[in-house]
């Protein structure tokens, strides 16, 4: 982890004075030291080394693989838990700043590797988009969420940063100690950093630091059992009504079912009985929208000839072969009778 220092700054001269002293000199001897602008979160700190309890783990690049590990995300509650946390503790504002207009109702949009808190307007604009900017925002949400989950599980004060030792203890409790990077585990145990290169005579078998932590956790006295691991948040059906039905202006989502479309494609054409080529989505009956299709349940198996005929002149097609809703009812009736839809 980076050892954060708050240097003495001579503002009138624009000079940064670093006086590490004997207790901090090893930091400067062991490697390069990065000098950067002081973040706002450190303005109240005293000059000198920032205590371990105030070191922000969220900005530690060595811990990123741990926070973004799939097992860690599952142990913290899964993506559903992350979305719940964003809606209640995500700041209450849309996280996408590059928009001139924000709708007052908030929702979440999943984006690898997590989720983002957006207003309804930005959600419609960014849906189906995958960019590095959005991915980085999703990563920061995952990191902040995991840290908050660990802080709550350990009954820690929300006003301070969680320490590396406390994070390791949460990893033990949650059963994800193996996800910790070896360098982080060694630092938590105050072990020297592993060398990058060795002479052949120096190569000896070594026990991974993560195994040492796990072994220490298993060796706790029998009378002092460890706290139970945090169980992932499990989805529960609290009310048969969909939450969106209680919204004044709910966001409509399209029913997407590739497996059902694949089955429809195996059915005979509704017009001629020949093998179908395409599952045709209902058109001209108020379904779909600009650049969107109707729900995948509103489809008809058609051969290429009749599919083209329908799109060329829907009115003439329905006058000749029957209406699209009538065909859809027959297909749905067959699907339910055969157990394709349940």
- CA-to-CA distance for 8 and 48, rounded, in angstroms? 8
Element (H, E) at 5: strand 5-6
Whether residue 200 is predicted with pLDDT greater than 80 in this model: the reply is: no
- Whether 31 and 130 share a structural domain: no
- More reliable by pLDDT, 46 or 130: 130
**Range of lowest pLDDT (62-71, 259-268, 288-297):** 288-297
Q: What confidence category does residue 57 fall into, taking pLDDT thresholds of 50, 70 and 90?
A: confident
Q: What confidence category does residue 328 fall into, taking pLDDT thresholds of 50, 70 and 90?
A: very high
Please report whether residue 233 resides in a domain: no
Please report whether residue 164 resides in a domain: yes
- Whether 86 and 36 share a structural domain: no
Task: Specify the pLDDT at position 241.
Answer: 67
> How many folded domains does the chain comprise?
3
**Range of lowest pLDDT (57-66, 159-168, 183-192, 321-330):** 183-192
Task: Specify the pLDDT at position 71.
Answer: 92
- Whether 138 and 102 share a structural domain: yes
Contact between residue 267 and residue 276 where contact means Cβ atoms under 8 Å apart: yes
Give me the long-range contacts of 20-24 (CB less than 8 A, separation at least 24). Answer: 23/49, 24/48, 24/49
- Whether 31 and 101 share a structural domain: no
- Whether 32 and 146 share a structural domain: no
Domain that holds residue 175: 62-194+205-218
The pLDDT tens digits for 62-104 are 889 999 999 999 999 999 999 999 988 888 889 888 778 888 8
Rounded average pLDDT over 11-24: 61
The pLDDT tens digits for 204-231 are 455 566 666 666 666 655 554 555 555 5
Please report whether residue 236 resides in a domain: no
- Whether 164 and 306 share a structural domain: no
- Whether 150 and 265 share a structural domain: no
Please report whether residue 117 resides in a domain: yes
Whether residue 316 is predicted with pLDDT greater than 90 in this model: the reply is: yes
- Whether 81 and 212 share a structural domain: yes
- Whether 45 and 134 share a structural domain: no
Please report whether residue 240 resides in a domain: no
- Whether 66 and 182 share a structural domain: yes
Please report whether residue 287 resides in a domain: yes
- Whether 148 and 175 share a structural domain: yes
């Amino acid at each position: 982890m980076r050892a954060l220092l708050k240097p003495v700054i001579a503002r009138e001269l624009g000079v940064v004075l670093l006086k590490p002293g004997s207790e901090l000199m090893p930091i400067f001897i062991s490697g390069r030291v990065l000098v950067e602008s002081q973040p706002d979160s450190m303005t109240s700190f005293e000059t000198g080394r920032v205590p371990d309890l105030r070191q922000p783990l969220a900005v530690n690049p060595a811990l990123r693989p741990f926070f973004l590990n799939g097992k860690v995300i599952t142990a913290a509650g899964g993506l559903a838990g992350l979305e719940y946390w964003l809606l209640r503790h995500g700041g209450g504002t849309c996280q996408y700043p590059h928009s001139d207009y924000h709708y007052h109702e908030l929702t979440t949009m999943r984006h690898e590797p997590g989720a983002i808190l957006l207003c309804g307007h930005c959600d419609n604009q960014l849906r189906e988009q995958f960019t590095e900017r959005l991915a980085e925002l999703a990563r920061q949400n995952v990191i902040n969420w995991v840290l908050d989950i660990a802080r709550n599980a350990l009954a820690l004060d929300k006003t301070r940063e969680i320490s590396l030792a406390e994070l390791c203890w949460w990893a033990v409790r949650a059963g994800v100690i193996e996800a910790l990077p070896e360098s982080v585990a060694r630092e938590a145990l105050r072990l020297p950093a592993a060398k990058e290169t060795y002479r052949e005579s120096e190569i000896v078998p070594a026990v991974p630091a993560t195994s040492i932590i796990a072994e220490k956790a298993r060796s706790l006295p029998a009378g002092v059992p460890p706290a139970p691991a945090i169980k992932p948040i499990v989805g529960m059906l609290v009310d048969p009504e969909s939450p969106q039905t209680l919204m004044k202006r709910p966001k409509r989502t399209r029913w997407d079912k590739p497996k059902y479309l694949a089955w429809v494609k195996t059915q005979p054409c509704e017009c001629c009985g020949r093998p179908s080529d395409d599952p045709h989505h209902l058109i001209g009956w108020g379904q779909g929208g600009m650049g969107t299709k109707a729900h995948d349940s509103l489809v008809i198996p058609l051969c290429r000839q009749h599919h083209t005929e329908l799109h060329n002149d829907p009115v003439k097609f329905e006058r000749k072969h029957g209406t699209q809703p009538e065909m859809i009812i027959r297909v749905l009736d067959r699907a339910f009778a055969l157990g394709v839809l349940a």
